[in-house]
Structure 1
């Protein structure tokens, strides 16, 4: 199957040219051949290059085309609902990580078919909003049986699955409940039988290195155990306050450290000097009323920055990358161009991918046609459904 998208008013390729990081082309065309991009060039020469045999022609009518969004941080396999918690937070309660346990209880109670159906709904939601590559974390099972099934179900919809058994300590291992277990015993389970069960289904290991979750020492154990099994490293860090998450991520060569709401000057310098991507999650600060991280500080220091949704039922129940772009531009110091790069090529870097997040020959044919003449409209028109059509691996969704 070959598809020619032509009459594109503004094409964002993310192939940097001169001072333009987005590699924008005007009056452009893109040829898709199967699941790959075969050619990018001027619309006036497109038919001569493509020929007309077995060709579907899509007229973009002067609108913008961008790479599919790459959402490198989601938690979209879970059961239950936490809208009451959100309402209480909006009424003045502070956010803590403790609410995760209510989702754990609901997830454990859900059947595979119930979780699978809900996950399918989120995948459709992601695609409809222009997200073509997405990561999914476990972390709402917190037992060997339940973490394995979350990893297995997530693997049915994406190659980018992350083992997050070290999300929080479950109630049965919490000393404060009067039970026999404790956090160190739970970490023993995570790095042992739980990792053994989940490793065949996942590409990454992650840990919530934060007060109320896991200490730096416990986090290191989890990450090193995952790395020893060939898994890539990711870290939740510096969300609720200053801490060791960034330092640990950089030291272990993590692909990304996510949240980064509270950063010291040393943290920023470490990120700028490393290959670790700093993934910012605007939906979290929007939904928890925490202060927004200062992206300008990171960008000006030379750190690589990604944007992701952190779609989850507790602290950021949005799957809209366009919304995250709008918030990032409005409240975090991004330009519209920087935010779009962070939500596409930046997300790809956070997943150690170079085949997505770009519109260049050889890349996977993931494209989004906007109902707008420019990518700037993603921030300029917040809340408006601007995604007109989405292609995933050359297939129109």
Structure 2
């Protein structure tokens, strides 16, 4: 199918030279918004032309397109990219939200058997079919909010059997709905009940990773990245390094949690072993910022978590000023129930003083870079996938300005196919 989106008031192409990411200074100099512009997508789902309508139809008459959308008085932005989610799980943690409101900390709930451990029990008990149904419902909500590429982790199994069950659910979902999914193995999300750090690390290295690799070899799953909750009292720096390197040696990108609750040097370790992305970073050090700025490791910032857990805000402004590549993610999970990158952008601008341009780049091109997919995702450029979000508003900034901006999304287009239409 070929598609023409014509006469948009604004088209936020983000960049025009196939950049893999944009740092803050690049955004100030290179961020591109075109006015009175049209976008053509070919039969293969790739963007074929961007420009004035007359220029496009001079080579391809409007009648030759199978579908035409009149975007007069609308704006077009790239499909949103969610750089960090835990979207496969059963049960909920509503009762824990009440405890947090009374002052209980994340680690207090965790030590009392709640948190990740509570969700692990529910997820282990759920069938693959139940988990798939729940996951597809969540992906549908994400799509309605403009997300067209999502990073999705396992991690509520903590044993080989359940981690594989989760990864199989992710794999099946890739074929059953439109959103592109980058899958991440996160067997080291927490220490299983009854295991200390040494035993948990050994289990990941000797049982879980081999089981995942066998499933990959057999064509049951595909896994892009490996993740660890690198945290004091969970998987500390040396254990995290062993697990991450074991995944990297088998071709997985390193994309992990670090410095969320305590500073333990996880960032410095991650940069030293070639991490593609590092998430959270509420407690990152000045040295850690310098290490990330001197590398291409992407900082994936999660405003919902800092907001819900009342954590110290990560020093995002300093990261941007120092030249760190900054991306955003919802951290969608039972503890931070948010499916909307639109909400995340609003929070990032208010909480972390990001500009709206920085927030959009962090939610498109840079988030795609955090999962190694910015060659085809994250900007509106000829040769990239035709992933577009049409906004029923006079200026693109309304997707951030309006706190419930999903209401103004008129269309979501995935690889040239209209997958949401109001």
Structure 2 residue runs without a partner (length 5+): 18-25, 175-180
Report the CA distance shift for 1:355/1:124 in structure 2 as closer, same or farther (over 3 A): same
Matched length: 388
Q: Which residue of 2 aligns with 1:32?
A: 41
1:300 alignment counterpart: 321
Residue 233 of structure 1, aligned match among 249, 254, 270: 254
Q: CA offset at residue 71 of structure 1? A: 0.7
CA RMSD of aligned residues (A): 1.5
Structure-1 residue corresponding to 2:106: 95
Pairing 1:312-391 to 2, within 5 Å after superposition: 312-314=333-335, 316-353=336-373, 354-385=375-406, 386-391=408-413
Structure 1: state its 5+ residue gaps.
174-181
Aligned-residue offset at 1:43:
2.8
Matching residue within 199, 210, 222 for 1:185: 199
Structure 1 residue 193, shift from structure 2 partner: 2.1
Query: In the alignment, is residue 143 of structure 1 matched against residue 154 of structure 2?
Result: no
- For the pair 1:77 / 2:77, whether they are aligned, the reply is no
1:51-95 deviation line (CA, Å, top 9, x unaligned): 222431101122110000111210000011001101210221112
Residues 300 and 329 in structure 2, CA contact (< 8 A), matched pair in contact too: yes
Q: Is the 8 A contact 2:84 2:151 kept in 1?
A: yes
- Distance in 2, matches of 1:375 and 1:267, equals 34
SS in 2 for 1:13: strand
Aligned to 1:261: 282
- After superposition, residues 261-280 of structure 1 pair within 5 angstroms as 261-280=282-301
**Cα distance in structure 2, aligned partners of 1:394 and 1:137:** 27
Map 1:116-265 onto structure 2 (within 5 A): 116-158=132-174, 159-173=181-195, 182-199=196-213, 200=216, 201=221, 202-265=223-286
| Farther-moved stretch of structure 1 (35-44 vs 117-126) | 35-44
1:47 aligns with 2:57: yes
State the distance in 2 between where 1:388 and 1:293 align. Answer: 34
Quote the residue 2:12 is aligned against: 12
Superposition deviation, residue 235 in structure 1: 1.4
Residues 259-279 of structure 1 deviation map (CA, whole Å, 9 limit, x = unaligned): 011121111111110110011
Q: CA deviation at 1:47?
A: 2.1
Residues 20, 46 of structure 1: CA spacing in aligned structure 2 closer, same or farther, 3 A cutoff?
farther
Match of 1:176 in 2: none
- State how far apart, in whole Å, the 2-side matches of 1:26 and 1:113 are: 46
Give 1:117 shift: 0.3
Give the match for residue 57 of structure 1: 68
Normalising by the residue count of structure 1, what TM-score does the alignment of the two structures yield?
0.95
Q: Cα 1:20–1:57, aligned 2, differ >3 Å: closer, same or farther? A: farther
User: Which residue of 1 is the match for residue 415 of structure 2?
Assistant: 393
Q: 1:21 to 1:282 in 2, by over 3 A?
A: farther
Separation in 1, partners of 2:396, 2:95:
36
Task: Judge conservation of contact 1:139–1:163 (CA < 8 Å) in 2.
Answer: yes
Give, in whole Å, the separation in 2 of the partners of 1:311 and 1:294: 21
Bigger CA drift: 108-117 or 97-106?
97-106
- In 2, distance between residues paired with 1:265 and 1:307? 20
Conservation of the 8 A alpha-carbon contact between 1:128 and 1:390: yes
Is the Cα contact below 8 Å between 1:368 and 1:391 reproduced in 2?
A: yes
